């Protein structure tokens, strides 16, 4: 059997191939049909061309009920040491617990926006070290840039380019093989919980410190990739089942639930 497709980027209608496994148990005087199993084949999309940048700005739409993006642990080239995680969000509402960009499950790191009060935590040594805003700073229906930085000596949180909290802490980051989730917190089985309802854009994970802990900066509306970029999701469009990664790693994020790219209304 041969399969061919045009040498172009995949559109959102593409689905990962699935294989149905069937079998029977054969005894001396009996034949029993075994339960069917459906397996999804995982494809490597790293060599696929990225979607062209659309004329109209696109963002990721999430309904807050199981929607998220999932990036496999093995695809993230983020060694121990200083790093930066950041992105833009516009919430439909703020619930008591909401994940933004997370790999937290008794390890790693996470950005949360619980009740509009952002926080950034990193598991260093034997416990989490966190920086949290003293009060809600995020408003529903408004775009905000949120960033977390670990520079090797402290954990710092920024909102719209303003430093809002920092906590001293050092040590090795406890590593986990769970996926990185965008738009949710990650559960022990790798699935999404504490999901975010609203719009997300320009999610970037970087090696090293992009911003100094006590210095304001003007956050770029569109972020760029360089040699230190471990992940960059522009949300320009859907690449088959993935939201494409514009970083050198091409660690495309698998869309979960009804997550989808959509044009941003003026």
Tell whether 18 is covered by a domain. Answer: no
Tell whether 113 is covered by a domain. Answer: yes
Tell whether 112 is covered by a domain. Answer: yes
Whether residue 238 is predicted with pLDDT greater than 80 in this model: the reply is yes
Tokens 């402290």 belong to residue: 154
User: Residue 200 belongs to a domain with what CATH number?
Assistant: 2.60.120.200
Tell whether 3 is covered by a domain. Answer: no
- Count the domains in the chain: 1
| Cα–Cα distance for residue pair 90/142, rounded to 1 Å | 5
pTM metric for this prediction: 0.85
Whether residue 25 is predicted with pLDDT greater than 90 in this model: the reply is no
Q: Which domain holds residue 212?
A: 58-263
Tell whether 152 is covered by a domain. Answer: yes
Q: Write out the H or E segment, with its range, that includes residue 223.
A: none
Vertex 96: Cα angle to 94 and 102 (nearest 5): 85
Tell whether 29 is covered by a domain. Answer: no
Tell whether 13 is covered by a domain. Answer: no
What is the tens place of the pLDDT at every residue in 163-183?
Answer: 999 999 999 999 999 999 999
Tell whether 219 is covered by a domain. Answer: yes
Share of the chain above pLDDT 90, in %: 74
| Cα–Cα distance for residue pair 45/182, rounded to 1 Å | 19
What is the tens place of the pLDDT at every residue in 117-169?
Answer: 999 999 999 999 999 999 999 999 999 999 999 999 999 999 999 999 999 99
């Amino acid at each position: 059997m041969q399969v061919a497709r045009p040498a172009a980027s995949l559109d959102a209608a593409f689905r990962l191939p699935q294989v149905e496994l069937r079998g029977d148990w054969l005894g001396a005087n009996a034949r029993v049909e075994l339960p069917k199993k459906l397996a999804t084949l995982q494809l490597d999309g790293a060599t696929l061309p990225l979607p062209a940048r659309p004329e109209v700005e696109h963002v990721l739409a999430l309904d807050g009920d199981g929607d998220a993006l999932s990036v496999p642990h093995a695809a993230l080239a983020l060694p121990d040491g200083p790093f930066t995680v950041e992105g833009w969000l516009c919430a439909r509402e703020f619930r008591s617990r909401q994940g933004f960009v997370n790999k937290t499950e008794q390890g790693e790191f996470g950005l949360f926006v619980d009740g509009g009060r952002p926080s950034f935590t990193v598991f260093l040594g034997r416990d989490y070290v966190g920086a949290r805003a003293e009060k809600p700073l995020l408003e529903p229906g408004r775009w905000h840039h949120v960033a977390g930085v670990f520079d090797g000596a402290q954990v710092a949180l920024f909102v719209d380019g303003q430093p809002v909290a920092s906590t001293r802490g050092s040590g090795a980051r406890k590593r986990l093989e769970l996926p990185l989730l965008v738009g949710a917190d990650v559960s022990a089985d790798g699935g999404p919980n504490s999901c975010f309802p609203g719009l997300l854009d320009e999610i970037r994970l970087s090696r090293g410190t992009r911003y100094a802990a006590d210095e304001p900066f003007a956050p770029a509306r569109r972020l760029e990739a360089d040699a230190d970029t471990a992940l960059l999701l522009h949300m320009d469009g859907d690449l088959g089942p993935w939201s494409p990664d514009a970083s050198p790693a091409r660690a495309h994020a698998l869309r979960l639930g009804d997550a989808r790219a959509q044009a941003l209304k003026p």
